[in-house]
Amino acid sequence: MSYQHWANYFEGHQDHFDHIVYNADDQLTIDELRLIKTSVRQFQRGEHSEGKHLMNYAKEQTAFSGDDSYERAIYWFIKEEQHHAMALGKFMGVHGIRKLTSDPVDNVFRWMRRYLGFEQSITTLLTAEIISLVFYRALHRATNSPLLQAICSQILLDEELHINFQCETLKEISTGRWPIVNFMARQWQRIMLLGVVLVVFAQHRQVLKAGGYGFGRFALACFKTLERSIDMIHFNALIQRRQEQWVV
C-alpha cells in the first residue's frame, strides 16, 4: 500500500470505535478489577500521545519529497492511537479506575521516539505495536467484561495494520542501504524487543498469565511477530534491491 492509501485508510477509519457502547452496567468482578487495573492504567497512558515529534519527522519527509501523503497518514494514525487511549479511558471511567499521568516505561519509549531519530522512532513504535498485539490478546481473555473484550478486539484489529504500516516505512528506509547496515538494524530490533519483553513481562505478568501467556509463550509470540515484520521490511527490501540491480 502506498502512503496515499494509508492516509485514506486511517482517515476513513476514524469511526472504528463507534459500534462500542460504554455501558455503565458492564460486568467486572472485584478480582478481575484487581487483576487488570495497573496494566490497563499503564497501557492507556502508553496509547495516549500527541505525536508531536512524529509529526515533525513526517513534515520533514514532506519537505524532502514534496509529497505530503506520509504526513497525512501519520496525522490520522496518531488520531487512531488516541482513540485507543480514549476507549480504554472510558472503560476505566465506567469502573472507577483513575488515569495515570506518567509512567516510567512509557517515558523511556517517549524519550526514544523523541531523541533517537526517525528510523529509531519507527522501530520503537513497531516494538510497541508488537507488544500490544500480544498484551491485548491476553487482556481480552483475562476478564469476562463484554466492554473490555469489545475494546480489545477493535484494538487488536487496528494494531495488526499498524504493524504493516510501520514495516512499510522501515522497508522504505532500509531499501538500497548497505546489507551490513540492514543486518545491524535487524539485530537492534531483536535486542530492543528482548529488553521490552523482559520489562513488560515483569510488570504485566498477572494479566499475561491470566490470558494464557507464561514467559516462554509471551516471548515466542512477540518474536514470531517480529520475525514476520523483519521479513516484510528486510527480505522484501532485499528482493526489491536485487530487482533494481537486474533492471539496471
Tell me the torsion sign for CA atoms 96, 97, 100, 106: negative
Closest approach, Cβ 94 to Fe ion, in A, equals 19
The residue sitting closest to Fe ion, measured at its beta carbon, is: 162
Tell me which amino acid residue 199 is: V
Q: How far apart are CA 48 and CA 33, in angstroms?
A: 21
Of 130, 3, 122, 153, nearest to 51 by C-alpha is 122
DSSP secondary structure letter of residue 235: I
> Residues 133, 153: contact at Cβ < 8 Å?
no
By CB under 5 A, residue 129 contacts Fe ion = yes
For residue 65, the minimal CB distance to Fe ion (Å) is 24
Handedness of CA 186, 171, 164, 76 (dihedral sign): positive
CA atoms of 82 and 46, how far apart (whole Å) = 10
Shortest Å distance, C-beta 245 to Fe ion: 35
Q: Which amino acid is at 174?
A: S
Binding mask 31-50 for Fe ion (x = CB under 5 A): ----------------x---
Q: Give 81 or 168: the residue with its C-beta nearer to Fe ion.
A: 81
Distance in Å, CB of 240 to Fe ion, minimum: 25
Quote the CA–CA distance of 231 and 223 in Å, as a whole number: 12
Q: Which of 162, 201, 221, 225 binds Fe ion (CB under 5 A)?
A: 162
Residue 131 Cβ, how far from Fe ion at the closest point, in Å? 10
Whether the CB-CB separation of 188 and 196 falls below 8 Å is answered with no
Cα 41–42–48 angle (5° rounding)? 90
Is residue 113 near Fe ion by the rule CB under 5 A? no
Residues 53-82 that bind Fe ion (CB under 5 A): 81
Nearer of residues 142 and 182 to Fe ion, judged by Cβ: 142
- Closest approach, Cβ 18 to Fe ion, in A, equals 17
Task: Supply the minimum distance, in Å, between the C-beta of residue 78 and Fe ion.
Answer: 10
Q: Which is nearer to Fe ion, 71 or 159 (CB)?
A: 159
Number of H helices and E strands in the chain, helices first, is 10, 0
Is residue 168 involved in binding Fe ion (CB under 5 A)?
Answer: no
Instruction: Tell me if 83 contacts Fe ion by CB under 5 A.
Output: no
Q: Which stretch binds Fe ion (CB under 5 A): 90-98, 152-160, 198-206, 214-222?
A: 152-160
Our CB check for Fe ion shows the closer of 97 and 133 to be 133
Rule CB under 5 A: say whether 84 interacts with Fe ion.
Answer: yes
How many angstroms separate the CA atoms of 104 and 56, rounded?
24
State which residue, 124 or 182, has the beta carbon closest to Fe ion.
124
Q: Provide the 10 A C-beta neighbour count for residue 50.
A: 9
Binding site for Fe ion (CB under 5 A): 47, 81, 84, 129, 159, 162
